[in-house]
Structure 1
Amino acid sequence: MITLKVNGRDHRIEADPDTPLLYVLREELQLNAAKFGCGLGQCGSCTVIVDGKPVLSCVTPLMLLEGKQVTTLEGLGTIEHPAPIQRAFMDEQAAQCGYCIPGMMMRAQALLQDNSRPTDAQIRAALEPNLCRCGTHMRILRAVHRAAALMQRADASTTEGGAR
């Protein structure tokens, strides 16, 4: 039995410790944003955030996650209240087929948590492990910049609201 903290909630998981996180997310927890792409950690469609860092969930065994915080795309926002990264990807129409987009958003979210004003080169470097065959790279790049701006505005309004 492993206790897995996903999107702020504890889940008791009965699975082999070698089971990849992706299988537990999709099959046990019904969190289907992370996709099974290659199963080898080469495409990035399964990317989630673990303790603030992007992780390929298809090759990350449960045994490495005890006591760590796992965040999936479902943990960022909702349809009614999307997170800045989700809103930006929608506004920029960054998805074509959409298969890679959850992984791209999670990798971009991890970048923006560490660097609120990334350059094009830093965004490209951060997203490089994730593959997109549809060619929406320029829209994805614009979406990450838009998300950064949305996050900066949200931080500024929070700071202003707290200073009054």
Structure 2
Amino acid sequence: MSEHTRSRPAGEGSLSATAEASASGPNFSRRTFLKSVGVAPVVAAAIAPDTADAQTAAVIGPDAAPLTLTINGQKRTVTVEPRTTLLDAMRQQLDLTGAKRVCDRGSCGACTVILDKRTAYACSVLAVDAEGADIRTIEGLTQGTVLHPVQQAIFEKDGTMCGFCTPGFVMSTVALLEETPNPTPAQARKALDGNICRCGTYVRLLEAALAVKGGTRG
């Protein structure tokens, strides 16, 4: 094996190996030892500014703090703890009770809202994580006393029984139609499969979704 291709022994060139070599050499002194280990403070000093920046970053909590949410095109201020969900903030502080608390674990879809054009379970989103996002709830769909086309279609197809799941189905359907104005039955079923109706009105809710054309925002 040539000199240029010789593999380096394990540990050679490391900080510990350098210190050991200095200690065993004939010219070892306290000065040379300090030189060999002096790189550690330099590395620490280089990292320190980033650490300081991280420590001075804005921190919310553990106590409640003010937060501004954009809901249905309006800036709304709430005072919440970091653990507060978007659902709790809306229902308890803003009186936006359209999104329902049913399972409270992100499995039934009754609390569905539209978050930056995508559906989301409000019970599974922290309010602090929703700051800066465009949040839309069922309260923002009507124009005065005029129902949104999706709401009107569900009414006409008799898709409501107890009504607890209805807001979630409405929001999921609105999101579907805004992305896909003329969905196929398969696309509609896929868009609604995150919503559960214990009363079993799936067929009529699906018919309502397919009856609305164009998906225009109300």
How would you bin the TM-score normalised by the shorter chain? 0.7 to 0.9
Q: Give me the whole-angstrom Cα distance separating, in 2, the residues matched to 1:9 and 1:104.
A: 23
Residue 124 of structure 1: aligned partner: 189
Q: Which has the higher contact order (CA 8 A, sep 6+)?
A: 1
> In structure 2, what is the equivalent of residue 19 of structure 1?
84
CA distance in 2, matches of 1:40, 1:109: 23
User: What CA RMSD, in Å, does the superposition of the two structures yield over aligned residues?
Assistant: 1.5
Q: Secondary structure at the match of 2:188?
A: helix
Provide TM-score, normalisation by structure 2.
0.67
**Match of residue 159 from structure 1:** none
Instruction: Say which SS state the counterpart of residue 81 (structure 1) adopts.
Output: coil
Between Structure 1 and Structure 2, whose CA radius of gyration is higher?
A: 2
Q: Secondary structure at the match of 1:5?
A: strand
Q: In the alignment, is residue 28 of structure 1 matched against residue 93 of structure 2?
A: yes
* Residue 96 (structure 2) pairs with residue 37 (structure 1): no
Among candidates 171, 174, 191, match of residue 109 of structure 1: 174
Deviations 1:60-102 (A, max 9, x none): 0012111111100010114611111111111111111111110
Alignment match, 1:158 = none
Give the letter for the 2:210 counterpart. Answer: H
Unpaired stretches in structure 1, ≥5 consecutive residues: 156-164
SS for the counterpart of 1:135 is: coil
Q: CA distance change for structure 1 residues 7 and 23 in 2, over 3 Å: closer, same or farther? A: same
Identity %: 38
**Which whole-Å CA distance do the structure 2 matches of 1:108 and 1:63 have between them?**
26
Structure 2, unmatched stretches of 5+, are 1-65
Deviation at 1:56, TM superposition (A): 0.2
Taking the TM superposition and a 5 Å limit, the aligned residue runs for 1:51-130 are: 51-78=116-143, 80-130=145-195
Q: Deviations over 1:129-151 (max 9, x none)?
A: 1111111111001111122x2x3
Aligned residue for 1:135?
A: 200
How has the CA–CA distance of structure 1 residues 14 and 51 changed in structure 2, closer, same or farther, with 3 Å as cutoff?
Answer: same
TM-score normalised by the chain length of structure 1: 0.88
Q: Alignment partner of 2:209: what SS? A: helix
**Aligned residue identity for 1:124:** R
